[in-house]
Structure 1
Amino acid sequence: MNAVRLHAFGPAENLTYERTDRPVPAPGQVRIAVAAAGVHLLDTSLRQGIQGPPAPLPDLPTIPGREVAGTVDALGPGTDPAWLGRPVVVHLGLAPGGYAEYAVADAARLHPVPDGLDAAQAVAMIGTGRTTLGILQFADLGPDSIALIPAAAGGIGTLLVQYAVDAGATVVALAGGPAKTARAAANGAHLALDYTDPGWPDAVRAHHPAGATVLFDSVGGETARTALGLLAPGAQHLVFGWSGGPLDLTDTERADLTARGITTQGVLGPVMLRRAGGDDPLRLLETRALAEAAAGRLRPALTRYPLAEAAAAHHALETRATTGKVVLEPGS
């Protein structure tokens, strides 16, 4: 089969498209003929040899990728034969192997692809979608809410905008450049601003002088520092990323947030799983995300690349040249 392999940590160019053996499913597993594989920002860090939660560095050589959708084409011993030939989507967890024409997965983690979704859309929801639903557990959005959403044209940002609009909230979306702000507006954002324009904070103040009630922060850095100054007393600051660098607040800034009653909370990892509840909170969030997409309430944005162009996909993701979820498609 064709696959993308990494033999040495480093730049995107270290991802090579080559021939390798098809994987063989173990007991309780299936093999999937992959139609779409998700690319995550975490993949780019692991490729560079930068270890961070939740995934350890892989042993090399490796086939990256942890989200796939396709058709079950082979079964391991003891696996339910009803899966054979079915379109499925799965998050592989900590096991890599997604950037390939075939991948293996535990049958217990599979979801049937809902009617009306293609493989790329299903892949977007199994990872990015489940994270979005997990984040939204911490925000009680409604008609009185004013949601400030940086990176609003990204994979999670797109879904946050759609969900907040559907909940009746007023949405202020931030994105980089006119094309991305136009996409945020098309998703229903009431105010879509280019964060590269130094006048964007003044525009927010002009439209919403009382301040936003919740900041969905995936960027950190100076954008988040500025956004914190645009929050209303008692607002929420929900943190789930730092693509723009760390948010290093001074003691004076922290004291100001406390005085204004603004709460900052990281919402990834164990705290998200505890909030979801149940015996298998990740699967619960995956099921919810797929159902929201199948019902048309959430519509993932996609940037599609052929599998052979994985290096280009990584480079584009790292330079913020993509919109929505980045997906690799074998055979395209």
Structure 2
Amino acid sequence: MDAIRLHAFGPPENLVLDQVPDPVPGPGEVLVAVRAHGVHLLDTTLRRGEAAGGPLPLPTLPTIPGREVAGVVEAVGPGVDAAWRGRRVAAHLGATPDGGGYARLAAVPVELLHRIPDHVTAPDAIAMIGTGRTAVGILDLAELGATDTVLVTAAAGGLGTLLVQSALAIGARVVALAGGPEKVALVRGLGREPHAERLVVIDYRAEGWLDEARAAVGQHSPDGATVLLDGVGGDAGTEAATLLAPDARLVLFGWSSGAPNRAGDVDHGAGNVPNPGAGAVARDVRWAVGPQARPWGDLFDLQERALALAADGTWHVVTHQVPLAEAARAHRELEARATTGKVVLV
């Protein structure tokens, strides 16, 4: 079968299309003919051989990357109900650096399978079982309400698009930060009626963006935004934190910029945040990922909840689709921040 393999750590070009033996489903497993394969920013870190401090160790080479698959059950292993054959399914393959997801076929334990709801595509299902489950966990932690004014960084990304829509759906005001005119336009499109008047989208790459964001926040919350949802960190995330009210919630879920949000550099037991610059800062720091994170609960349930939000139309899912054979291009575009929504190989 076709599979993308990594033979040496390094640049995206090290991801090559190989022919490997078809997997055979063992007891309790099914064979999935994969139609969509999830790509995560962590995949690029592992590909470069940079696992220090990350959630996963480096894979054993050669390896087939990827931990998210969606497709159709082609065969079942011993002890598995034959009724699974022909069903559309999605699965997260677990916290492993050798996931095997960038391949045409995958042997998957039956207990990991989700039935893909009607009207949900395979790429959208991929977005839900990975990025969607993370968004549900972040939202549980953030405890958003209709009276909140919410700042969202990287609003055009896979997580950002979902967080913006959820905040709008509950009645909150949203100031969304995105990089460049095309991403700004995409996020504005998420503010469909009757939510459009509660959404302001700002290009954080433009000169004076922080003052523009401060003015947008001030229209609704003179004391500052009540929540910051930040997975970017670095200068942009830290500067955004200066727009928060003194009793705001700072919800952190990574640092795609390569550096953490300095406003989150606190004694997590004390809950006091040093001022990283002019303006108010958060007093309530909540980590959704990392060693300081609170327990998420059952991940399978989070995936089911995310799929339901896509199925009922609460979430319009945004994906950036690239052919499987061009996995190297997908990695390049993801690292260059040239993608919107969830990156999916198809």
SS in 2 for 1:23: coil
8 Å CA contact 2:183–2:340 kept in 1: the answer is yes
1:70 to 2:71 alignment? yes
Alignment of 1:136-155 (within 5 A): 136-155=139-158
- Deviation per residue, 1:106-132 (Å, 9 max, x gap): 100100000110100001101000000
8 Å CA contact 2:90–2:116 kept in 1: the answer is yes
Supply the AA of the counterpart residue of 1:55: L
Match of 1:38 in 2: 38
Q: Work out the number of aligned pairs and report it.
A: 325
Distance 1:290 1:11 in 2: 33
Match of 1:29 in 2: 29
8 Å CA contact 1:4–1:308 kept in 2: the answer is yes
Match of 1:288 in 2: 305
Alignment of 1:169-180 (within 5 A): 169-180=172-183
Q: CA deviation at 1:248?
A: 6.5
Q: 1:76 to 1:196 in 2, by over 3 A?
A: same
Match 2:249 to one of 236, 246, 254 = 236
Q: CA deviation at 1:184?
A: 0.8
- Deviation per residue, 1:150-178 (Å, 9 max, x gap): 10000000000010000100010001100
Supply the AA of the counterpart residue of 2:321: R
8 Å CA contact 1:302–1:324 kept in 2: the answer is yes
8 Å CA contact 1:273–1:282 kept in 2: the answer is no
Match of 1:223 in 2: 236
Match 1:266 to one of 280, 287, 306 = 287
Alignment TM-score, normalising by the size of structure 1 = 0.93
Match of 1:18 in 2: 18
Match 1:164 to one of 154, 163, 167 = 167
Distance 2:337 2:88 in 1: 31
Supply the AA of the counterpart residue of 1:255: P
- Deviation per residue, 1:250-274 (Å, 9 max, x gap): 99994338x9662222112587673
Distance 1:230 1:76 in 2: 55
Distance 1:170 1:145 in 2: 6
Distance 1:223 1:249 in 2: 10
Q: 1:96 to 1:245 in 2, by over 3 A?
A: same
8 Å CA contact 1:141–1:168 kept in 2: the answer is no
Q: 1:69 to 1:270 in 2, by over 3 A?
A: farther
Distance 2:60 2:282 in 1: 46
Q: CA deviation at 1:245?
A: 2.6
SS in 1 for 2:142: coil
Percent identical: 53
Match 1:256 to one of 251, 271, 275 = 275
Match of 1:49 in 2: 49
Q: 1:249 to 1:90 in 2, by over 3 A?
A: closer
Supply the AA of the counterpart residue of 2:287: G
8 Å CA contact 1:38–1:124 kept in 2: the answer is yes
Q: 1:272 to 1:110 in 2, by over 3 A?
A: farther
Q: CA deviation at 1:21?
A: 1.0
Distance 2:139 2:262 in 1: 25
Match 1:207 to one of 186, 195, 216 = 216
8 Å CA contact 1:3–1:18 kept in 2: the answer is yes
